A and B are shown apart, each in its own frame.
Chain A
Amino acid sequence: MVFACAALMRPFGTPPSMMDDYIINNSQQETGTNNVVSAVVFDYRGYDTLGEATVLFLTATAVIMLFRDRKGEGTN
């Protein structure tokens, strides 16, 4: 099965280029953003960025929780 998939795979360097061509051609028209990377990160793949922001927020919360001064002697 693995060998069959490897044999049927597209040659390296020629990706199936419908999606990226679409984004490169239409992102300025659709999102009005000159930076296509920003358009992908904040518009087309907004869910991914939402997850990243949530992970960072939870990390900050967990670090503050773990490193908090237990006796309350610090200014923290």
Chain B
Amino acid sequence: MSKIVRTTAQFLTPAILLYGLYLIVHGHVTSGGGFQGGAVFASSAALLVVAFGSKHVAAFLKEHHLVVLSSSGALIFIGLAFAGMGVTFFYNLFVGSPLFGNIPAYGSNPEDIWTGGTVPLMNFAVAMNVVAGLSAIVIAMGLALRIR
């Protein structure tokens, strides 16, 4: 693509990554979550493929790294689900513990961030899965279509 598109992509990519990270790590407090933030995060990969070409992006976002990231996200998610197996599958066992264990008061209080039990960790695991999966899809299709 032209120099204008490449420069604009260079300016926009950090902002997109920061917004995606905000959506992921604040998923248990405000709207957003692993799926939405992961999709925003992976859209920067699409922007980079369009601006710089798929060969260039695939040189530093390797397929086997993305596959490892996606699989480990799915495994962490299932592991957290099985961790509550003493009570039920998907039992939230971190409520009341020092790790994300605050119990908020009834009503709207978004300033209390250290809450949620396993929910923030599951958000992060799902985000790893979604980011790596969608980026791998975009890069594989870009390589197949030879976008440069």
Tell me the count of chain B residues lying within 8 A, CB to CB, of chain A: 55
B41 in the interface, Cβ–Cβ < 8 Å? no
B15 in the interface, Cβ–Cβ < 8 Å? no
Q: In the complex the two chains form, is A32's CB within 8 Å of B117's CB?
A: yes
Q: In the complex the two chains form, is A34's CB within 8 Å of B129's CB?
A: no
Chain A nearest CB, measured from B84 CB (Å) = 9
Complex partner residue of B90 from A43, A52, A59, CB under 8 angstroms? A43
Instruction: Please report which residues of chain A, range 1-35, place their CB below 8 angstroms from some CB of chain B when the two chains form the complex.
Output: 25, 28-35
Q: In the complex the two chains form, is B112's CB within 8 Å of A50's CB?
A: no
Q: In the complex the two chains form, is B90's CB within 8 Å of A41's CB?
A: no
B contact residues vs A (CB 8 Å cutoff): 27-31, 33, 35, 55, 58-59, 63, 67, 70-71, 73-74, 77-78, 81, 89-90, 92, 95-96, 100-106, 108-110, 112, 115-119, 122-123, 126, 129-130, 132-134, 136-137, 139-141, 143-144
